[in-house]
């Protein structure tokens, strides 16, 4: 496995301490597990990495991907992350390598954990991008896996999806704390502090309008500040509140032109955004279907005549 899977992301030079958010994570430590769920761009990974940067904790970090949806890779990844955190532990490194070829990866993992019950004090295990894990065998075994972790180890899980069913068993025992997109939103004070850290001179009123315009969405705040730094613009007067933070950010971009193809019935919005080919000057459309439900019935790309 690549060492990058076990390396926490570096904290940016423009990172600021978010005491309000860190207080929620500190409270979660007392329960043992924090599950952070929010859409992409809300700052889950940065929040976890920034919080850990303020703590003197051994960190076992595992950046999950679609290949970890197999039990052998999943358990080997956790063992590998713990081995990376405890660099002198050759036994964990051996267990991680053996888990990939073990006939029963779960049994191998549980056996390895039974010998490490005294090594978790002050250590934090982070499972990032947990939305890639939907294998029924892995999810069914999660309660046993979590119970087998060394005593005193704190677990943080970041996902774009809500917690799967196995985590519900921990709610009654008060072992888990949930953080959502609402907890990750930037407050006006945090946006103002970030703007000052970036060398911008936004007033508190401008910082409040910035947060209002993007709904506190972390990626939107960062993108708007970069635009202000590059273009020298400032937040405008309050307008209609956007439905979502993502919609607010995307509304600043150029919207694709929609085309209605010959014979197309006007029963729904056309799902044929035009793609501009800057090299040949041609326009292409992504299909000729009609959006009649949540799923698009688009077909393959087809060339369209250029229009002005």
Residue ranges per domain, the chain? 3-184, 188-250, 256-308
Least confident of 33-47, 191-205, 220-234: 220-234
Query: What is the Cα–Cα distance from 198 to 230, expressed in whole angstroms?
Result: 12
What is the Cα 76 distance to its own chain's centre?
22
Query: If we measure between CA atoms, which residue out of 267, 269, 271, 305 comes closest to residue 286?
Result: 271
pLDDT tens, residue by residue, 173-183: 678 899 999 99
**Six-digit token string for 168:** 């519900």
* H-helix segments, the chain: 19-31, 44-53, 71-85, 90-99, 105-114, 136-148, 168-171, 181-184, 188-197, 204-214, 218-231, 245-250
What percentage of the chain reaches a pLDDT higher than 90? 44
Report the predicted TM-score, pTM, of the whole model to 2 decimal places.
0.73
Residue 118 confidence (pLDDT):
63
Structure tokens of 76? 């080997």
**Cα 210 to Cα 202: distance, rounded to the nearest angstrom:** 10
Two structure tokens written together for 197: 């850290």
Architecture of domain 3-184: 3-Layer(aba) Sandwich (3.40)
pLDDT in tens, 134-192: 999 999 999 899 989 888 889 999 999 999 988 877 776 678 899 999 999 999 999 99
* Contact predicate 290/270, CB 8 Å: yes
Give 290's DSSP letter: B
Compute the distance between CA of residue 148 and CA of residue 155 in angstroms, rounded to an integer: 12
Kindly give, in sequence order, each residue whose CB lies less than 8 Å from that of residue 267, ignoring residues fewer than 6 positions away: 290, 292
């Amino acid at each position: 496995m690549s060492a990058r899977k076990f390396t926490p992301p570096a904290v940016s030079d423009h990172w600021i301490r978010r005491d309000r958010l860190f207080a929620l994570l500190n409270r979660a430590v007392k329960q043992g597990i924090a599950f952070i769920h929010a859409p992409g761009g809300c700052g889950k990974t940065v929040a976890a990495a920034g919080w850990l940067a303020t703590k003197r904790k051994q960190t076992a970090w595992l950046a999950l991907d679609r290949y970890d949806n197999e039990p052998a890779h999943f358990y080997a990844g956790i063992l590998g992350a713990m081995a990376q955190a405890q660099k002198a532990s050759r036994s964990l490194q051996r267990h991680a390598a053996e888990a990939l070829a073990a006939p029963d990866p779960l049994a191998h993992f549980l056996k390895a954990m039974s010998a490490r019950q005294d090594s978790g004090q002050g250590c934090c295990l982070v499972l990032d991008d947990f939305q890639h894990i939907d294998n029924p065998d892995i999810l069914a075994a999660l309660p046993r896996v979590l119970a087998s972790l060394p005593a005193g180890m704190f677990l943080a899980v970041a996902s774009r999806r809500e917690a799967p069913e196995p985590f519900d068993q921990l709610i009654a025992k008060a072992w888990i704390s949930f953080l959502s997109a609402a907890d990750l939103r930037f407050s006006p004070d945090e946006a103002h502090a970030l703007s000052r850290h970036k060398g911008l001179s936004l007033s508190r009123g401008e910082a409040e309008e910035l947060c209002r315009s993007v709904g506190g969405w972390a990626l939107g705040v960062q993108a708007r500040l970069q635009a202000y730094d590059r273009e020298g613009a400032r937040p405008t007067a309050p307008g209609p509140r956007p439905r979502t933070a993502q919609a607010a950010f995307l509304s600043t971009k150029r919207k694709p032109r929609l085309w209605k193809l010959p014979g197309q019935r006007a029963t729904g919005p056309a799902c044929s955004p035009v793609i501009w080919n800057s090299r040949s000057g041609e326009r292409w459309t992504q299909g000729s279907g009609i959006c009649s439900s949540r799923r698009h019935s688009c077909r393959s790309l087809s060339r369209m005549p250029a229009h002005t």
